[in-house]
């Protein structure tokens, strides 16, 4: 089984002819991801690493009706249009790698996606990987291996570090999702947890949070209320961050007495979650609950 992407995933790369789009298309293909088409306006008729390029999503889907997933490498000022185009073309999952998209634009397309039944991952995210089946993102595929641990994370770098530490400890992953570090993102922790709850392969969930916002507190409430029943291990980045300082991500800012490291850890521990103080503790904590 898999969460959101797997053996049946068929991908269209939007912005495939750009430097990042071309580079990561090659790596995704090498991983075994089935990329059926690319889209760059004005570049239709070309090929990138053997993938046919079209001017629009509509044209790409007409030629490749099996496509169900899009990944966006479009510059920020055009990215929202690309998201709408993907949603209107019927994509079930849209991974938005692009960063620096204005928050009000993200709010609009996330709301539109929900009305159409499309799952947005991101923006400003590393994407999603189901090890051994499909990688729709920019993460280094070789550090993941198939197994029973789901990962959902606000931090790309910490996703890689923790996945690698699990793999080195002989613990594989079911699916890893980097939801992005912006103040507004498409898929949230609780929404991702609903998918992992239904996934028979996932036996334990690793939740990687950070200061700012209240997503971790909402996740804790979901666990406490019994709406997520699998064991959860967590790590919260930003333990030493001073109040009012933004650390790294745009969403990682503590305001009005909410979103602090202490608030998040307290809520999670109250819900029975084991919280690691450093990322290297996670494999040991996972082994204890597997």
Residue 239, C-beta contacts closer than 8 angstroms, at least 6 positions apart: 261, 277
Distance of alpha carbon 151 from alpha carbon 206, whole angstroms:
5
Q: Of the residues 24, 104, 142, 249, which is catalytic?
A: 249
8 Å CB contact between 181 and 252: yes
Residue 24 annotated in active site: no
Buried b (16+ CB within 10 A) or exposed e, 155-185: bbebbbbbbebbbeeebbbbbbbbbbbbebb
How far, in Å, are 54, 72, 152, 283 from residue 206 at the CA level?
A: 39, 26, 6, 10
With residue 208 as reference, give the H or E element that holds it: strand 204-210
Residues, the chain: 290
Among 14, 27, 16, residue whose Cα is nearest residue 135: 27
**Catalytic residue positions, numbered:** 249
């Amino acid at each position: 089984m898999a969460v959101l992407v797997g053996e049946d995933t068929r991908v269209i790369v939007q912005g495939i002819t750009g430097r990042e789009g071309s580079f990561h298309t090659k790596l995704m293909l090498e991983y075994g991801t089935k990329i059926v088409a690319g889209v760059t306006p004005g570049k239709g008729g070309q090929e990138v690493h053997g993938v046919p390029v079209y001017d629009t999503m509509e044209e790409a889907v007409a030629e490749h009706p099996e496509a169900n997933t899009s990944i966006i490498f479009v510059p920020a000022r055009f990215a929202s249009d690309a998201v709408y185009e993907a949603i209107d073309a019927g994509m079930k999952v849209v991974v938005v790698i692009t960063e620096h998209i204005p928050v009000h634009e993200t709010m609009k397309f996330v709301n539109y996606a929900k009305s159409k039944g499309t799952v947005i991952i991101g923006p400003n995210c590393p994407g999603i990987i189901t090890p051994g089946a499909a990688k729709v993102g920019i993460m280094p595929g070789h550090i993941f291996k198939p197994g029973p641990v789901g990962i959902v994370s606000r931090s790309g770098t910490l996703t890689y570090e923790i996945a690698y530490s699990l793999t080195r400890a002989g613990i594989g992953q079911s699916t890893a999702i980097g939801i992005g570090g912006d103040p507004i993102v498409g898929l949230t922790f609780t929404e991702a947890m609903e998918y992992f709850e239904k996934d028979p392969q996932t036996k334990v969930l690793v939740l990687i949070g950070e200061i700012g916002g209240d997503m971790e507190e909402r996740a804790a409430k979901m666990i406490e209320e019994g709406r997520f029943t699998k064991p959860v291990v967590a790590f919260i980045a930003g333990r030493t961050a001073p109040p009012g300082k933004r650390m790294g991500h745009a969403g990682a800012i503590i305001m009005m007495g909410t979103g602090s490291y202490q608030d998040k850890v307290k809520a999670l521990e109250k819900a029975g979650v084991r919280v690691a103080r450093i990322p290297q503790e996670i494999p040991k904590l996972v082994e204890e609950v597997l």
